[in-house]
Amino acid sequence: MTTVLEAPPVVGAPAKRRRGKATTHRWSALFLSPALLIIGVFTIIPMIMTIWISLHQWSMFTPITEMTWVGLDNYSRLFADPSRVQAIVNTAVYVGLSILITIPLALLVALLLYFPRLKGKGVVRVILFATYVIPTIAIVIIWGNIYASNYGPLSAMLRTIGLPAPGWLSDPKWALFSLVIFNVWQMLGYYVILLIAGLTQIPEDLYEAARIDGAGFVRQTLWITVPMLRPSLVFVVLMTFVNSIQVFDPIYLLTQGGPANSTNVVGFEIQRTAFQYGMAGESSALAVSLFLMIVAVGGVLGIVMKGRRR
C-alpha cells in the first residue's frame, strides 16, 4: 500500500499575502492621491457648493455669507418663468434633432469609410476629425459668415436658383435649426471615428459566412453590423446627448439666445441667470437639474445595454 505524503502547510502564507495586498493598496493610494486631490478640489467640491447654493437665495452681487435658506423653493420655481420653460423646450428640440440627424449620418459615413477598399480613407478620417479639434471660436467665425444673410454662400446659392434666403440666425423659425446643423458638422467626425473603432471589433468571419449564404451589403448591415455595433452606437447616442444638452459656446457667440429667445437653451439660461441677473440660487438649481437629467439618461442607457448583454 503506497502512502501519499502531503506537504505541510506553509506557515504564515495568508499573512504574507495580506501584507502584500496592504502594501499594494498603500502604493496605489499614494500614486492616485494627486489625481484624487485634483478631482476633489476642482470637481467634487464645486458640485457640493452648487447643490448647497441651490438651496439658498443669493445674489452674486452680494457676499456669499448673506445667503438665505429657502430649501427646495428654487426647484419649485424652475417652471414658473416662461423663459426657462422655453429654454427647456428649445434644449429638448436641439438634443432631439442632433441625435436624429447625427447618428444615422455618422453610421452611414463610418460604413462608407470602413468597408470599401479605397485609397485615401485615412486622409478623409483626419479631415473629418479636424472639425472636432478646431477651437469653437474659429468655427463660429466661419459659420457666422456662412450664415450671413447678405453675403453668405448659403444665401447666395439660394438666390442663384431663385429661392428666397431665410435669416439663418435672425429668423426665429430657422435659428435653432441652423445651430443644430452647426453642431452636426462640428461633432460628426468625432462620432464617425468612434463608430469605425467599433467596426474594427466585428469579426470578419461573420461577413464571410454571410456572403457565402448569399447575403448582400444591406442584409449584412442590418443583421450583423448594427447588432454587433450596438455598444458603440449606444455610447455615441450618450455622447451626442451629453454634448448637445450642455451646449453653450455657439449660442453665446452666435445668437445670445435670440432672436426672441428662440435659441435660448438651458446652458445659456444658467449663465444668464447667474451672471446677468445675479440669481445664483435659481441658476444653481437649474444646473443641478441638468446634471440629474444627464445622470438619469446615462443610467437608462446603461441599463439598456446591460439588459442586451444578458
Residue 8 binned pLDDT confidence (cut-offs 50, 70, 90): low
pLDDT at 159 over 80: yes
Looking at every residue in the chain, the average pLDDT score rounds to 85
- The C-alpha atoms of residue 310 and residue 305 are separated, in whole angstroms, by 9
pTM of the complete model: 0.84
User: What local confidence, expressed as pLDDT, does residue 55 receive?
Assistant: 92
User: What local confidence, expressed as pLDDT, does residue 184 receive?
Assistant: 93
Q: Say which CATH class 73-309 falls into.
A: mainly alpha
User: What local confidence, expressed as pLDDT, does residue 3 receive?
Assistant: 54
pLDDT at 92 over 80: yes
Torsion of CA 55, 56, 59, 65, to 10 degrees: -130
Residue 86 binned pLDDT confidence (cut-offs 50, 70, 90): very high
Could you read off the pLDDT of 54-84 as tens digits, one per residue? 998 988 888 888 888 988 898 888 888 888 8
Contacts of 279 (CB under 8 A, 6+ apart): 59, 60, 273
User: What local confidence, expressed as pLDDT, does residue 5 receive?
Assistant: 52
The contacts found for 12-21 with CB under 8 angstroms, 24 or more apart, are none
pLDDT at 96 over 90: yes
User: What local confidence, expressed as pLDDT, does residue 120 receive?
Assistant: 73
Of 167, 178, 174, 227, the C-alpha closest to 199 is 227
Q: Do the beta carbons of residue 188 and residue 109 sit within 8 Å?
A: yes
Phi, psi of 279 (to 5 degrees): -90, 85
User: What local confidence, expressed as pLDDT, does residue 105 receive?
Assistant: 94
The structural domains of the chain, with segments of one domain joined by +, span 73-309
Stretch 100-111: mean pLDDT, rounded? 93
DSSP annotation string for 113-148: HHSS--TTHHHHHHHHHHHHHS-HHHHHHHHHHHT-
- The C-alpha atoms of residue 86 and residue 261 are separated, in whole angstroms, by 8
